[in-house]
Structure 1
Amino acid sequence: MKLISVIVPVYNTEKYIEKCVMSILNQTYKNLEIILIDDGSTDNSPQICDSLAEKDNRITVIHQPNGGVSSARNIGLDNTHGDYITFVDSDDYIEPNMIEFLSENIGDTNIAMCGYTSVEENGNLSPQENVTVTDGIISTDTFWNYFYTDTRIYYVTLWAKLYKSHLWNNVRFPLNTLHEDEFAVHQIISQCSKIAVSKKPLYFYLQREGSIMHTQFKTENLNAAEGMLDRCQFFFNKKEYTLAEKALSMAMYSIIKGYGILGESDKIKELYNQFRLMYRKLVFKNTSMKFKYKCGIFALNKQIFIKLKK
């Protein structure tokens, strides 16, 4: 059995961390190394992590000053030894056969993906929103087609996936960043020719009020737009102009959302200028007329675009 590394960033999740880790320890696939990165927690999470490590030698605990989830995941990646890598968030948990299922599905692909179930704090379950995929193997082109037409959480999140470890050799997350997965997905997928996909819901994604993703929209949420602009530049450099235009269109709507909530902030101005720069690079490439028209109006004047959109 190949060694699989499970990376779990931990920050103030004392209510959830034991259930999370036990769901990993109880996997039907046993050859695991579980790396818990305590990111400067101020509750009892560090003690719980250390106690769990004393009970199972597959667990390694790393304590570090608070640096954010990107820093914690980077430390985890720097300390893995497995042939494969998977991520689990410390307030989530997984079905007993998730890792075995993904390891059997990955075959000669580089990534295997499964579905998820959202869990409310009261225990109520709701399945993932509809996605196009059926169990099987898809090409990278098909992945991006689904990515830009389906519910994106299935495709963009780090969890509920098993990666061959070499994919992460030169990929790390930007520090002090929310939506860090937006910066990684294109770098990882670009290394693949085919991907194993399944809707089978084997990951449980907790929807809790205090989590980063469920707090009020703030300037840091604009990191998502930064990730999309980064993806646009990435595809532009590879001369994949259709994917670049889709990334830029998505960045546009992310900027519009931020503008509607935050107004004309310095960060909005910065992102808008980056958008206009990328548009000027792309407009004379092999891109669609719809893109040139729609994003051209936004690049000319965002207020006019928003009025027309309404």
Structure 2
Amino acid sequence: MCNIDFSIIIPQRKSLDSLPRLFKSIPVSDKIEVLLIDNSPEPISGKDVQTIHPFQLLHSNPHSFAGGARNIGLDNAHGKWLIFADADDFFTPQAFDIFYSHFADEEDLIYFKSDSVYDDTLEPSDRNSLFNAYIDDYVLGKIDEMEVRLSYLVPWGKMIKRELVVQYNIRFDEVLAANDVYFSTLVGYYSKKFTIDTHEVYVITTRKGSLANRWDLPVIESRYHVALRRNLFLKKHGLKQNQGSVMFFIYKSISFGPYVFFSFVFAALRYHQNIFIGFKDWFKTYRKLSVNNRKNKAYIKK
């Protein structure tokens, strides 16, 4: 196989309709490999993907979810740089020119800004605001480098050198939701050289029924236990100040009855978690989530 510059890793489940849009945003080049990992209960074939763009179709166990699919992608990637995309998102027109401008950089981790739209209308949404705010705050000197490294808890909108992931055997959690949080934490922590580019390279979509818009119990439980595990890692590595609040999950658990609520509290105790972390920001966070939920009401799956 010739030398590969970029490996684009894309997990797929029930997103065949949006894949052509994503593929169209990726240049055709023998230096860019596109790895599509199908995680569907009923495996798809290459003919099911309506595109003329060359890609490699791989399959993962559907019970390993998107994290398992991404791990299959890691196992089969050959590029110097790893770039992740979700099947319902896409890259901006200038994205790969920007990626190539950093190809020879000494850094092993580069963060970029993103745009966001509603999937069905392509009208602007606000899913990019949180991650762009971290970048803006870092550029303005409001937060330090380690804080921005550990706050951008998604795999897309980044260039990651494959050798970093290989050296530290960094993998995605094979869980229902938040499979990327621990991966992103480890990449941010172990990166030796880091930088930011404020160009937008990626477009996030808000899609009806997607995991990002689901608040049913299995999803909440998955996100909660990943958050506890992440906080424990940060405590063990002298980064207590970078832990995230878990009170939102405990608050959400109340609506599922006392058994679920107390199971969440006991889980925090098992992880030696201070559930009052970030209490000064609770009201602000709750208000922001309430506003977002009202705005995205049609897209949220209960």
TM-score computed with the length of structure 1 as normaliser: 0.74
* Structure with the greater alpha carbon radius of gyration: 1
Matching residue of 1:306: none
TM alignment of 1:64-83, pairs within 5 A = 64-67=60-63, 68-83=65-80
Change (3 A) 1:46 1:39: farther
**124-133 or 228-237, which moves further after superposition?**
124-133
RMSD between aligned residues:
3.2
| SS of residue paired to 1:181 | helix
- 1:3 Cα offset (Å): 1.6
The alpha-carbon distance between structure 1 residues 144 and 223, as it changes in their structure 2 partners (threshold 3 A), is farther
Secondary structure of the structure 2 residue equivalent to 1:171:
coil
Q: Pick one of 257, 268, 273 that aligns with 1:275.
A: 268
Q: Distance in 2 between matches of 1:126 and 1:80?
A: 32
Residue of structure 2 equivalent to 1:145: 147
Say how many residue pairs are matched: 267
CA contact (8 A) 1:158 1:181 kept: yes
Q: Alpha-carbon deviations, 1:226-248, whole Å to 9, x = none?
A: 2221122212322x0xx23542x
Q: Does 1:85 align with 2:82?
A: yes
Cα deviation digits, residues 112-162 of structure 1 (max 9, x gap): 1111111112121246325153599899x82443478xxx5xx11111111
**TM-fit CA distance, 1:221:** 2.1
Partner of 1:114, secondary structure, is strand
The change in CA–CA distance for 1:114 and 1:30 in structure 2 (over 3 A counts) is farther
Q: Which amino acid aligns with 2:108?
A: N
- Structure 2: how far apart are the matches of 1:80 and 1:235? 29
**How far 1:8 moved relative to its partner?**
0.6
Shift of 1:72: 0.8
Q: Note the residue ranges of structure 2 that are not aligned, 5 or more in a row.
A: 280-302
**Residues 65/222 of structure 1: CA separation in 2 closer, same or farther (3 Å cut):** closer
- Compare 254-263 and 187-196 and name the one that shifted more: 254-263
**Which residue in 2 is equivalent to 1:257?**
251
Fraction of identical pairs, as percent: 19
Give the superposition deviation at 1:276. Answer: 2.2
The one-letter amino acid of 1:18's match is P
| Counterpart contact for 2:10–2:85, Cα < 8 Å | yes
Superposed, 1:9-28 pairs within 5 Å as 9-25=11-27
Q: Which of these residues, 4, 7, 19, is aligned with residue 6 of structure 2?
A: 4
CA contact (8 A) 2:67 2:179 kept: yes
